[in-house]
Amino acid sequence: MEQKQNSGIYVFNTVIGSIAILWDNINGEEKIIGIRLKTKMSSCNGYDIPAFVVKLSDLIKQSLKGKEVRFPLNKLNIEPFTDFQKKVLLHQTTIKRGSITTYGQIAKTIGHSGASRAVGNTLAMNPFPIIIPCHRTIRANGDLGGFRYGKTMKRKLLEMEGIRFNFRGKVLFNTTMDVS
């Protein structure tokens, strides 16, 4: 008989390798606490995987295969973040597939001009890559900036979305730029 559990890890394969979805019971509700790319984790065996976790994995796979998907954000545990960090993370979800923005543009859009470094620091600790597409934010000079899973992965994700680069590895700014 399958047992229910309040927390767990679900690992699945995608076009960019294995991805893990981690969830836990937060104040009586199951919430996503993290997404790990290029994982070597193992799924929890012998337990029911919550339906919302399986659905989320399907949406991630669809997104990585080129579909524009709308991820549900209500199951992400963003409570540990400050109000500023929540603004950054939630704004990042508005950057459409195939578009890019800059750290400075996000800072300006959320009402904190000059806070591009703080935006970068927030995106560097984004626990929900792909769902909160931090890979779509670059430096104002076209450099990729950082990414927890490395610049090679960031570039691959952007290229999968149609973003083009020059011979020096900088993003071509004739790419769709989000300036919301």
Asked if 133 and 52 sit in the same domain, the reply is no
C-alpha torsion angle, residues 127, 54, 160, 173 (rounded to 10)? -50
Asked if residue 141 lies in contact with residue 100, where contact means CB atoms within 8 angstroms, the answer is: no
Asked if 89 and 151 sit in the same domain, the reply is yes
Asked if 100 and 54 sit in the same domain, the reply is no
Asked if 87 and 140 sit in the same domain, the reply is yes
Percent of the chain whose predicted confidence (pLDDT) is above 70: 89
Asked if 42 and 102 sit in the same domain, the reply is no
CA distance 40 to 91: 30
Q: Which residues contact 152 (CB under 8 A, 6 or more apart)?
A: none
Asked if 88 and 167 sit in the same domain, the reply is yes
pLDDT at position 6 over 90 = no
Task: Give the range of the structural domain holding residue 31, as residue numbers without chain letter.
Answer: 8-64
For 93-122, write each residue's pLDDT tens digit.
999 999 999 999 999 999 999 999 999 999
Asked if 139 and 94 sit in the same domain, the reply is yes
Asked if 97 and 170 sit in the same domain, the reply is yes
Query: Domain for residue 75, yes or no?
Result: no
For 28-84, write each residue's pLDDT tens digit.
899 999 999 987 766 665 578 899 999 999 999 999 999 999 999 999 999 999 999
CA distance 152 to 67: 22
At 175, phi and psi to the nearest 5? -65, 155
Token representation of residue 37: 């790319």
Query: Domain for residue 133, yes or no?
Result: yes
The CATH number that applies at residue 160 is: 1.10.10.10
Asked if 133 and 60 sit in the same domain, the reply is no
Query: Domain for residue 116, yes or no?
Result: yes
Of the residues 134, 144, 157, 158, which is catalytic? 134
Domain count, the chain: 2
Q: Is 134 a catalytic residue?
A: yes
Asked if 127 and 161 sit in the same domain, the reply is yes
Asked if 93 and 158 sit in the same domain, the reply is yes
pLDDT at position 178 over 60 = no
pLDDT at position 1 over 60 = no
